[in-house]
Structure 1
Amino acid sequence: MDNISLINSKKETYFSQLDGIRFLAVMLVLIDHWMAERNPLPLGHLGVTMFFVLSGFLITRILIQSKLKDDRTGRSHWFSVKQFIVRRSIRIFPIYFLSIFALYYFNIPPVRETLIWCLTYSTNLYIAINQHWMGTIDHLWSLAVEEQYYLVFPYLILFLPTRHYLKLLGAMIVIAIATRLWLYFNGTPWLVQYVLMPTALDCFGLGGLMAYYFTFKKNEVFDKLAQTKFIILSFIAYAICVSLIIIQQKTTGEVENFGKLVTERFLGATFCFFLIAKAISEYKGFLKWFFEQPIVQYLGRISYGIYLYHNFVYNFYHTPQTSIVLRGLHKIQRMFPLFTLNIGFEFLYFLGITVFIATLSWFIIEKPINHLKKYFTY
């Protein structure tokens, strides 16, 4: 079968420019979290959305490959379920749980009070129920969303006939938008709907569509979608939406409007869909040079660690002035007044510390443990 031959040939393909996408996504999050009120744009929202769409593509592609190999070899789909769970656990769990235990040991709030929520990847539910963020561990909500998504989605891909995939992925997009609409018209606060897994399903669904078309209809559909014009058009639509949201907020003082609660994530996910599709097909010119820069590639490769640790290094709203990181910053600024209130320097200072920690994490913990994946091949 031609499709299976295509899958076998592509299975071990490493899309190098996707590390550039990871770099871009994590930088958007860092700018949003570290610059906070000095940055009016929802860059963090877009960064997280980019991660979700990218995850939707990669996970769906892996699962489709596994299913077709199961069907071709007569192997049980439960074998692929086990392989998926083990491999994702090897990649995600070690530094996550080590971070939680370290925060617990040093009594960094609110970890001890919310330990069960942290250990069960349900901090997003805690935020939704209590309707407030969690300080130093705010950002763990997105990791919880991904883990909750993994609890269901692999079974659907592995056990559903492939002819139903488009219906499934389309239904995910509809469910997400319908859920956000329902929550909006019921007056649910933005914070609640933003962190729930079902409201992010359009991001995963669009990523899944990308994987489906790449696998089964690369020439007929995927290559036609991976065009610069679609990136530009989708970005314009997203930028217009964000502009209208900001204008309405400043004009009426209404923080939670329809665009922010319902539309922004879908348009952002659509932009990310085309941006990532083009990276899979590979950019040319300046963007090829940028996404394939060694430093960009490296930071993209360790982006999980950067994302996990960055809030522990600094958070605009929650880091006390007595923290060792801020004391170090203020000491440098006293020595070199030129760096006082210099946003660019502050960002690079926090980034340097975060990258240093993430680098240690990568070489000491993550990379050695990741080698265990070779014993659990699909």
Structure 2
Amino acid sequence: MLQDMGNSKPRDQNEGDSATPSGEVHLQVIELTDEETSTSSTDSEDQTFVGQATTSTKSSVEKLPESKPTAPQPQAKVLFLDGLRGLAAMLVVVQHSHEFVPSLHLGSAAVDVFFILSSFLLTWLFMKKSMKLLAQGASVRTWVFGLLDYFQKRFFRVYPLFAVTAVVLHFLSFENQHRYFIVRKPNQVPLYETLTFEYEHRYHVFWTLPLEIEYYFIIPVFVLVVLRLRRYWWVGAVPLFVWIVHEGWTLVRNSHTPLSLHLHTFMLGSLAAVVFVKIDLWIRKTEFKFRLWHTVLLRAVEFLLIALMLSVLFRGLLFDWVMANPAPPPEGFPFISVYVASIIVIEILQPSFVSAMLEWSVLRFWGKISFSIYLLHTFVIKYPAISHQPNYFNRFFARLFLVIALATASYYAIEYPSQLMAQRISRFLAAQEKKGSGSLGKFACMEKINRRMQSTTVEAK
């Protein structure tokens, strides 16, 4: 889903990142380009970057020594997010294969990870861009073009592959429709209703796509409200977090449900992005440095969060060894959003071996193609010639390699060209915005000259 830094895709250069010759990184919240898009199980987001000279992330709080201007450093992603997304995509495959304790809802937990990553990255992106436009005193025209660019990127990263999959599903026989996408009745996959996300036609994994798309419209409003609050952003953040925890503990969530039941998960991803941006800005402003005891305390909190997350997922561990789970037993999706969002923020601020493990190139590649994995994996795992194999390992390796092969082909045949199209449209919109701004500037300049000439004429008379 997320594109690794070795990809040959063209990219724009961003300013605002710095790296020392030794590769130490000063993490900054920088503007993201559409070339560096990332994919979720349900969509893909513009990935977030830190400037660095090596491929691994470093602490966001190391102060950089002053140095002479050098050539622009290459941009790299926060690589562990690629790996996290790839791992989540494979957990969905495991869940739908019904080979490993399906009652644990690992696929449901993976969907929550996708929701958090989507909202976190897009909120981070839009917040940075909005801060830049506000600092520049951008006109309404610039904001309109920025929003158009934001939505067209989202469209081209989500819709093309979904549309192709929906068309293929429409022309399959009812037997195959039922086998691969759990269609209940014949002639129940009308193309128009499926392509427009009618509630009754959100088959199988399609149900998450409209939820993501609906939340795309909430992100700009959320970001602008946060920026409007300025230093008092926490006044809204605290009750919002309390509401999120309450919803997570009390709501019964399942698949094929509306956005209202999953809104708190998306909101937590956005809130985590805001918290990270505020902490990162404070760190750079105060030149704060993590001392040993800071790191030890942070790691203790992080490992406790990981232990609690695993305890919720596997319904035991700390809840058997230490104390009973204080939350009600989950009847639907397990509530792990708070743990996942907190771990992401901690790992970006102060990376550990957790992010290093997730930076494994195999996981990152799965992350790059994860949208295709998510949408297309059932065509492999439910294929009779594979699912009827009596040997478990024959099924396992056949599914693993064929899912990756199909997703890779889909990525380069559909997703990658769609990203290139989004880039071209983004450049076109940028050119049109600048062209209009230039024309207005010339018009204002000519008006000023005319007024001066008229004033001079009056004085001469």
TM-score, normalisation: structure 1: 0.73
CA contact 1:206–1:269 (8 Å) conserved in 2: yes
**What secondary structure sits across from 1:139 in the alignment?**
helix
**What secondary structure sits across from 1:11 in the alignment?**
coil
Identical aligned residues as a percent: 21
**Alignment partners' CA distance in 1, 2:334 and 2:101:** 21
Aligned residues: 329
Deviates most, 367-376 or 169-178: 169-178
> What corresponds to 1:230 in structure 2?
301
**What secondary structure sits across from 2:154 in the alignment?**
helix
TM-superposed deviation, 1:72: 2.4
TM-superposed deviation, 1:365: 1.5
Alignment CA distance shift 1:158-1:287 (3 Å): closer
TM-superposed deviation, 1:211: 1.5
Larger fraction in helix: 1
**What secondary structure sits across from 2:367 in the alignment?**
helix
Alignment CA distance shift 1:55-1:306 (3 Å): same
Match of 2:98 among 24, 35, 41: 35
**Alignment partners' CA distance in 2, 1:269 and 1:145:** 16
1:81 aligns with 2:147: yes
**What secondary structure sits across from 1:151 in the alignment?**
helix
1:206 aligns with 2:281: no
Matches within 5 A, 1:1-378: 10-12=30-32, 13=49, 14-35=77-98, 38-73=101-136, 74-76=138-140, 77-107=143-173, 108-109=177-178, 110=183, 112-115=187-190, 116-123=192-199, 126=200, 137-158=203-224, 161-163=228-230, 165-166=233-234, 173-175=241-243, 191=254, 195-218=257-280, 220=282, 227-242=298-313, 258-261=328-331, 264-265=334-335, 268-281=336-349, 283-285=351-353, 288=356, 290-314=357-381, 319=382, 325-328=383-386, 330=388, 333=389, 340-342=390-392, 344-375=393-424, 376=426
Q: Deviations over 1:304-362 (max 9, x none)?
A: 11111112333xxxx4xxxxx222464xx5xxxxxx342x4423322222211111111
CA contact 1:56–1:208 (8 Å) conserved in 2: yes
Deviates most, 69-78 or 12-21: 69-78
Equivalent AA in structure 1 for residue 97 of structure 2: W
TM-superposed deviation, 1:175: 4.9
CA contact 1:60–1:208 (8 Å) conserved in 2: yes
Alignment CA distance shift 1:71-1:294 (3 Å): same
**What secondary structure sits across from 1:27 in the alignment?**
helix
**Alignment partners' CA distance in 2, 1:158 and 1:79:** 16
CA contact 1:15–1:280 (8 Å) conserved in 2: yes
CA contact 2:347–2:355 (8 Å) conserved in 1: no
CA contact 1:55–1:207 (8 Å) conserved in 2: yes
Equivalent AA in structure 1 for residue 221 of structure 2: Y
Q: Deviations over 1:202-244 (max 9, x none)?
A: 3222222222133222165898799433332123333444555
Deviates most, 229-238 or 302-311: 229-238
CA contact 2:170–2:189 (8 Å) conserved in 1: no
Equivalent AA in structure 1 for residue 273 of structure 2: A
Uncovered stretches (5+) of structure 1, i.e. residues with no partner = 128-133, 185-189, 249-256, 320-324, 334-339
CA contact 1:230–1:274 (8 Å) conserved in 2: no
CA contact 2:82–2:364 (8 Å) conserved in 1: yes
**What secondary structure sits across from 2:104 in the alignment?**
coil
Q: Deviations over 1:163-194 (max 9, x none)?
A: 3754555555555555567766xxxxx547x7
Deviates most, 92-101 or 194-203: 194-203
CA contact 2:85–2:114 (8 Å) conserved in 1: yes
**Alignment partners' CA distance in 2, 1:361 and 1:34:** 21
CA contact 2:244–2:268 (8 Å) conserved in 1: no
**Alignment partners' CA distance in 2, 1:51 and 1:35:** 21
Deviates most, 273-282 or 66-75: 273-282
**Alignment partners' CA distance in 2, 1:104 and 1:276:** 39
Alignment CA distance shift 1:113-1:158 (3 Å): farther
**Alignment partners' CA distance in 2, 1:51 and 1:221:** 28
Equivalent AA in structure 1 for residue 411 of structure 2: W
Uncovered stretches (5+) of structure 2, i.e. residues with no partner = 1-14, 18-26, 33-48, 50-76, 285-289, 320-326, 431-461
**Alignment partners' CA distance in 2, 1:120 and 1:177:** 32
TM-score, normalisation: structure 2: 0.61
Q: Deviations over 1:41-79 (max 9, x none)?
A: 221121111111111210101110221122123143332
